[in-house]
Structure 1
Amino acid sequence: MTSEWLSPPTRSEIIENLVSGVDRYNPANVSILEDYLYHQLRTGEYDCLANLAILKLYQFNSELYNPDVIINILIKALTTCPLPDFNLCLSLLDERLINTPLEEPDPLPVILPELKTLHNLLYRCRFPAFWDAYRSDELEQLRDNYTVEIVGFENAIRAVAIRAVRTTFTKISSDRLGSYLSLSDDLVQYVKSLGWSIDPSTTVISLPPNPDNQIEATVVQESIKLPQLTKIIAHARS
């Protein structure tokens, strides 16, 4: 997992050289990294370090600032929750960057609080609330101008919910899982694609066992030798 985060197998040699070497701080390379970001949006790939390199270049060179690029980076980072990618991206933003003069109205100050809210809901595993907020009228601009261009965005969010369900449940009702995934008619097919089984009479979904969803009693035994016990008693008396 860590190795794929540091160097995704889909990263090209050109991007690898930019991200790993001193050229990552060369502002002349920002267009290459931005093109790579839009490649990620079109293909569903993800490269956090390359996207962080863009934000670092913006931080050092405010004239490069592009709010649309930042919004897309943050949206991609949402899909990795509960990993710290979203907060890592936020750490490279500051008021000086957001207040950079632009020829057109800057969408970032409006959309950034909305993205923070969505991230908070995902991090707290409040998946039904996430879908309600995401599909609300207030986030119409986010959907119409950004996430609609990101291939597989909603399925990537569902993958976040599935990771949480796998580590928590051995059985879950169809209604509950459907609310987590914002699926109804397609839920049965989606569940089957995961290799999970569903009882047609009760609509209860059974998850395969894994190290995280199995409850096992743990017995802890401590061994104290006589010389150690003698020291403890002597210390207590004193």
Structure 2
Amino acid sequence: MVAFDKCETRPANIDAILNGLDRYNPETTTVFQDYVVQQCEDRTFDCYANLALLKLYQFNPHLTQPDTVTNVLVKALTVFPSPAFSLCLSLLPAHTQPFPTTQEAQAASQTSDFVESVQKLSRLSTLLESAQYTQFWSTLNSDDLYADLTADVAGFEELVRIRIAVEVGKAFRSITTESLEQWLDLRNREALEKFVTDVCGWKVDGTAVSVPTNKENEARSEVKSERVGVDMFGRVIRRGFEQTA
């Protein structure tokens, strides 16, 4: 699995901006915004470029485009459990945070559609990070706003399913199809088997799915031995024979 902060498909012009002084130039926001659109379309993710854009928004609030910010957050969801979402969220204004601390922030959070969007996406992130996959899909399907927020990100649901499967593969050697149906939101048996076999490379056997052994789910016994010599307790033994004053 490629690290979340690596992007092999980063265009040369974006790389040049990130490695030069232009990354602090407000005029480059349009370039980064177009690059976000590209990421949404071709299913790539460039964390450093997106963070650079959010930092520009932080320095130049008047340039902020809410739709671009939410697209960045949605893209970050597709690479959980990396810290990408938290890093992006930390660069947004205080009043957009899931738990505003000041009265001004709380007042602002109650009157902004943008803040509502950020907080809804934060809710999805929390569910994914805490492995509440069934609740994640239930929440995602519970409000049309979620569909609007993820509409620009091609293959969003599939990308999330792949990440969930990766995490499941780290923890299980065998799992029931019923559990996978809920965790992947694939209620159709044919669709589930196709995803499990074609995408994950796992084997379906009746009501169970077998996950190949990997370095994460392999059962390993750990034997610890301690070598304790008498000399290590020499001082304690000597004190036992010492006369009290």
With structure 2 as the length reference, what TM-score do the two structures score?
A: 0.85
Q: Which amino acid aligns with 2:193?
A: V
Q: Which amino acid aligns with 1:119?
A: S
Find the partner of 1:132 among 120, 128, 138. Answer: 138
Cα distance in 1 for partners of 2:4, 2:145 equals: 30
SS at match of 1:211: coil
Cα distance in 2 for partners of 1:6, 1:184 equals: 33
Over 3 Å counting, the alpha-carbon distance change for 1:232 and 1:115 in structure 2 is farther
Cα distance in 2 for partners of 1:16, 1:159 equals: 28
Instruction: Report 1:12-161 matches (<5 A).
Output: 12-95=11-94, 107-137=113-143, 140-144=144-148, 146-161=149-164
SS at match of 1:167: helix
21-30 or 69-78, which deviates more: 21-30
- What 5-or-longer segments of structure 2 have no aligned partner? 98-103, 105-110
Shift of 1:168: 1.0
Cα distance in 2 for partners of 1:89, 1:189 equals: 34
SS at match of 1:160: helix
Shift of 1:226: 4.3
Shift of 1:142: 2.9
Over 3 Å counting, the alpha-carbon distance change for 1:121 and 1:235 in structure 2 is farther
Q: Which amino acid aligns with 1:228?
A: M
Cα distance in 2 for partners of 1:227, 1:189 equals: 64
Shift of 1:109: 1.2
Shift of 1:96: 7.0
Over 3 Å counting, the alpha-carbon distance change for 1:128 and 1:49 in structure 2 is same
Contact kept in structure 1, 2:4 and 2:79, CA below 8 Å:
no
Cα distance in 1 for partners of 2:160, 2:92 equals: 24
Over 3 Å counting, the alpha-carbon distance change for 1:7 and 1:192 in structure 2 is closer
In the alignment, structure 1 residue 208 sits paired with structure 2 residue 212: yes
Cα distance in 2 for partners of 1:232, 1:41 equals: 67
- What 5-or-longer segments of structure 1 have no aligned partner? 100-104
4+ aligned runs moved over 6 Å, structure 1:
96-99, 235-238
Deviations 1:127-154 (A, max 9, x none): 11000000013xx12313x312211100
Contact kept in structure 2, 1:62 and 1:97, CA below 8 Å:
no
Q: Which amino acid aligns with 2:45?
A: Y
Q: RMSD over aligned Cα, in angstroms?
A: 2.3
Deviations 1:12-62 (A, max 9, x none): 111111122222111111100110000000000000110000100000111
Instruction: Report % sequence identity.
Output: 34
SS at match of 2:70: helix
Shift of 1:223: 2.4
Over 3 Å counting, the alpha-carbon distance change for 1:235 and 1:71 in structure 2 is farther
Cα distance in 2 for partners of 1:59, 1:151 equals: 27
- Counterpart for residue 170 of structure 2: 167
- Counterpart for residue 183 of structure 2: 180
Deviations 1:180-215 (A, max 9, x none): 11113200111111211111xx32110000111122
SS at match of 1:151: coil
48-57 or 152-161, which deviates more: 152-161
SS at match of 2:224: coil
Shift of 1:237: 8.0
SS at match of 1:224: coil
Contact kept in structure 2, 1:171 and 1:205, CA below 8 Å:
yes
With structure 1 as the length reference, what TM-score do the two structures score?
A: 0.87
